[in-house]
């Protein structure tokens, strides 16, 4: 019953035979310290011969051996590149870039209860981190309280559990919200969680006008990649434009959305798909804001972006440069933005979680460092570097410190911050930037032909494109066409053991006890009244943010508020495409 060519059955890697070189190439050979040399040493290639039939990026882009002046013949330095801080911002959004201010070092963190996560934030701030980034658990991301039966076993597991304002008060206890900027990865229920943050700041005596930070609030990529959606697209877009309008008026320094390619890439897309789908989403939010009656320059300066930094170095750098140029041109020429801040694509970067390997986990430190360098050479505004243990668990303290130190070494020692956009003018990088821009524009045409972003989601277009790319990549790793050190190259028999962080099962009990206590103490009548108000506003057309603020201050829970919205808006069920 076995397919041809498969003779070995291996359940887990630790029992795989020792292999040196491409997977399966020399079964029985061993390598590594204290072992025999592999039977064949690599041959020296005669001149003209090449090691591979095709040289490709991890996105299956074929790369030529040499690029020259003819590859940038169409490039107009003034029109296509400009100066840093000037349209079309290919070279960076600020005139001084890292000479003026380094990127924000912002490690995504959150687990267990609010107290545990608060301790981790203080640990990171004490080690030189410059901004916070909150990871919520799955129940919170899906608008479920910890006491919902569906939350069982998931409370505090992959992020921090937040049910009510009481949790947010503990989460930011002792952290001055007028001095620290906070990014929150929350999407479908983002408006409610943002209301909690604003309420906590108010209790600290910090007015909303002084707050800086970001809510991810990017629902479109949830349908295509991250998959923590709740409501259908139309009411979801309304929640988002409500935050745009409220932010413009009351929280003017806040990024009301972080339009994210990160998850699209993690789900398996190519670099160009990440670029194209993210920017297509971005322009869709601009259209939605305008359709809601907002002036484009009132909200567009607060749109921010979030990209992945994967392992193919130059392709990533070109992606960031192309992204800035496409956004600037689109906003100015197509969407009529007049404020230069509306043209600027500012972005956060996270190194590629999906590139981390469980095999030889210390290698992940090197991978992450190269990816971080690509993000910085691409002009990122803030950066998260993954920890070496994240293929297996949430990061432990030591691992996260090494990841932060990796950024600090990059910023303080390598000198790459001394000059702006140092790769500009490189035949290869400029050619690649231009190619990726063209390919992204071609995707825009295809999306438009399907009727726009939302119809394309409903037809499964993005999901299928991403699944195709993910499968092709896996097959290329399988065949050895793409190398992953420790997985299909330089495999070691023994697994390196590193200490992994575990979230204690008692967390759930503690969280349930706190929620019960909050529910017992609050004014039940006030909660009932404000939930009725949430329902009435949801049925009408008014901005939901003010009523969310009143609801969270009455200690209505996230689940209670979202349940009302579920009843009014309905829920979304995805087409299961593979």
162 to 196, 444, 559: CA distances (angstroms): 10, 38, 10
- Shortest approach of another protein to residue 388 CB, angstroms? 13
- Shortest approach of another protein to residue 146 CB, angstroms? 12
45 to 38, 42, 51, 401, 550: CA distances (angstroms): 18, 9, 8, 42, 72
- Shortest approach of another protein to residue 267 CB, angstroms? 5
CA distance 413 to 409: 5
Residue with tokens 């697209």: 233
Question: Around Cβ 500, how many Cβ atoms within 10 Å?
Answer: 14
Question: Which residue's CB is nearer to another protein, number 142 or number 436?
Answer: 142
Q: Which of 293, 291, 228, 297 is nearest to 260 (CA)?
A: 228
- Shortest approach of another protein to residue 7 CB, angstroms? 8
User: Is there a contact between 140 and 558 (Cβ–Cβ < 8 Å)?
Assistant: yes
Question: Which residue's CB is nearer to another protein, number 150 or number 438?
Answer: 150
- Shortest approach of another protein to residue 427 CB, angstroms? 35
- Shortest approach of another protein to residue 336 CB, angstroms? 36
Question: Which residue's CB is nearer to another protein, number 155 or number 318?
Answer: 155
Distance from chain centroid for Cα 483:
24
CA distance 487 to 478: 10
Residues lying near another protein in the complex (CB under 8 A): 1-3, 5-6, 8-14, 23, 138-139, 141-142, 144, 150-151, 153-154, 157-158, 226-228, 266-268, 354, 357-359, 391-393, 467, 470-471, 474-475, 478, 484, 486-487, 495, 500, 503, 573-574, 576-578
Question: Which residue's CB is nearer to another protein, number 289 or number 353?
Answer: 353
Which residues, listed in sequence order, are joined to residue 112 by a DSSP beta bridge?
A: 160
Question: Which residue's CB is nearer to another protein, number 298 or number 487?
Answer: 487
- Shortest approach of another protein to residue 65 CB, angstroms? 31
Residue with tokens 């479109």: 220
Residue 444 in 3-state DSSP? helix
Q: Which of 26, 128, 165 is nearest to 548 (CA)?
A: 165
Q: Helix %, strand %, coil % for the chain, to 5?
A: 50, 10, 45
Question: Which residue's CB is nearer to another protein, number 498 or number 526?
Answer: 498
Question: Which residue's CB is nearer to another protein, number 99 or number 495?
Answer: 495
- Shortest approach of another protein to residue 474 CB, angstroms? 5
Between the two ends of the chain, the Cα-to-Cα distance in Å is: 25
- Shortest approach of another protein to residue 15 CB, angstroms? 10
Question: Which residue's CB is nearer to another protein, number 227 or number 332?
Answer: 227
- Shortest approach of another protein to residue 139 CB, angstroms? 6
CA distance 372 to 411: 10
Using only the alpha carbons of the chain, give its radius of gyration: 25
Length of the chain, please? 578
CA distance 103 to 256: 19
User: Is there a contact between 241 and 210 (Cβ–Cβ < 8 Å)?
Assistant: no
- Shortest approach of another protein to residue 135 CB, angstroms? 13
Question: Which residue's CB is nearer to another protein, number 162 or number 410?
Answer: 162
Which residues, listed in sequence order, are joined to residue 182 by a DSSP beta bridge?
A: 132, 213
- Shortest approach of another protein to residue 286 CB, angstroms? 27
- Shortest approach of another protein to residue 465 CB, angstroms? 12
What DSSP line would sit under 389-425, residue for residue? TTTTSSPPHHHHHHHHHHHHHHHHTS-TTSSSSTTTT
Question: Which residue's CB is nearer to another protein, number 117 or number 256?
Answer: 117
Give the tokens for residue 62: 């074929």
User: Is there a contact between 344 and 93 (Cβ–Cβ < 8 Å)?
Assistant: yes
Per DSSP, 130 falls in state -
Q: Which helix (H) or strand (E) holds 303?
A: strand 303-309
Question: Which residue's CB is nearer to another protein, number 289 or number 559?
Answer: 559
CA distance 495 to 483: 19
CA distance 138 to 147: 13
Question: Which residue's CB is nearer to another protein, number 142 or number 166?
Answer: 142
Question: Which residue's CB is nearer to another protein, number 246 or number 461?
Answer: 461
Question: Which residue's CB is nearer to another protein, number 101 or number 502?
Answer: 502
Per DSSP, 518 falls in state H
- Shortest approach of another protein to residue 502 CB, angstroms? 8
Omega before 412 within 30 of 0, i.e. cis: no
């Amino acid at each position: 019953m076995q397919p041809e060519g498969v003779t070995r059955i291996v359940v887990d890697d630790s029992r795989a035979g020792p292999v040196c070189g491409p997977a399966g190439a020399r079964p029985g050979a061993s390598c590594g310290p204290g072992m025999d040399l592999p039977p064949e040493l690599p041959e020296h290639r005669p001149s003209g011969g090449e090691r591979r039939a095709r040289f490709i990026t991890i996105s299956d882009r074929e790369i030529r051996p040499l690029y020259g002046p003819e590859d940038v013949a169409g490039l107009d330095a003034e029109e296509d590149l400009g100066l840093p801080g000037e349209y079309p911002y290919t070279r960076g959004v600020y005139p001084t870039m890292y000479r003026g201010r380094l990127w924000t070092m912002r490690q995504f963190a959150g687990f267990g209860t609010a107290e545990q996560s608060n301790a981790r934030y203080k640990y990171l701030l004490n080690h030189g981190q410059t901004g916070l980034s909150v990871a919520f658990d799955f129940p919170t991301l899906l608008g479920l309280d910890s006491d919902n039966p569906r939350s069982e076993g998931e409370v505090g597991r992959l992020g921090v559990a937040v049910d009510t304002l009481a949790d947010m008060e503990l989460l930011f206890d002792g952290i001055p919200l007028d001095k620290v900027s906070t990014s929150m990865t929350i999407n479908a229920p983002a408006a409610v969680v943002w209301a909690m943050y604003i309420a906590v700041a108010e209790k600290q005596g910090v007015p909303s006008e002084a707050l800086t930070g970001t809510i991810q609030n990017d629902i479109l990529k949830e349908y295509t990649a991250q998959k923590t959606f709740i409501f259908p697209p139309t009411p979801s877009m309304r929640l988002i434009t409500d935050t745009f309008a409220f932010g413009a008026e009351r929280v003017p320094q806040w990024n009301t959305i972080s339009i994210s390619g990160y998850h699209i890439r993690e789900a398996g897309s190519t670099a160009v798909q990440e670029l194209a789908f993210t920017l297509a989403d971005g322009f869709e939010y601009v259209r939605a804001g305008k359709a809601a009656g907002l002036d484009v320059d009132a909200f567009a300066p607060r749109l921010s972006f979030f990209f992945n930094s994967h392992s193919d170095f130059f392709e990533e750098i070109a992606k960031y440069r192309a992204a800035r140029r496409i956004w600037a041109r689109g906003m100015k020429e197509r969407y009529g933005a007049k404020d230069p801040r509306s043209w600027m694509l500012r972005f956060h970067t996270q190194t590629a979680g999906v590139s981390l390997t469980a095999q030889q986990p210390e290698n992940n430190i090197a991978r992450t460092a190269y990816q971080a360098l690509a993000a910085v050479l691409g002009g990122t505004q803030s950066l998260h570097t993954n920890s070496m243990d994240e293929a297996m668990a949430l990061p432990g303290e030591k691992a996260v410190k090494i990841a932060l130190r990796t950024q600090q070494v990059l910023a303080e020692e390598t000198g790459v911050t001394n000059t702006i956009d140092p790769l500009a003018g490189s035949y290869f990088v400029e050619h690649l930037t231009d190619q990726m821009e063209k390919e992204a524009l071609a995707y825009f045409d295809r999306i438009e032909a399907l009727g726009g972003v939302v119809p394309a989601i409903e037809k499964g277009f993005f999901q299928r494109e991403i699944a195709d790319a993910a499968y092709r990549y896996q097959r290329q790793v399988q065949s050895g066409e793409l190398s992953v050190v420790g997985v299909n190259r330089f495999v070691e028999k023994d697994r390196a053991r590193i200490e992994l962080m575990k979230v204690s099962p008692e967390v759930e009990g503690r969280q349930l006890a706190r929620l019960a206590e909050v529910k017992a103490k609050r004014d039940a009548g006030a909660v009932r009244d404000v939930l009725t108000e949430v329902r009435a506003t949801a049925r009408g057309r008014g901005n939901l943010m003010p009523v969310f603020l009143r609801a969270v201050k009455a200690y209505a829970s996230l689940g209670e508020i979202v349940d009302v919205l579920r009843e009014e808006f309905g829920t979304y069920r995805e087409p299961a495409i593979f």
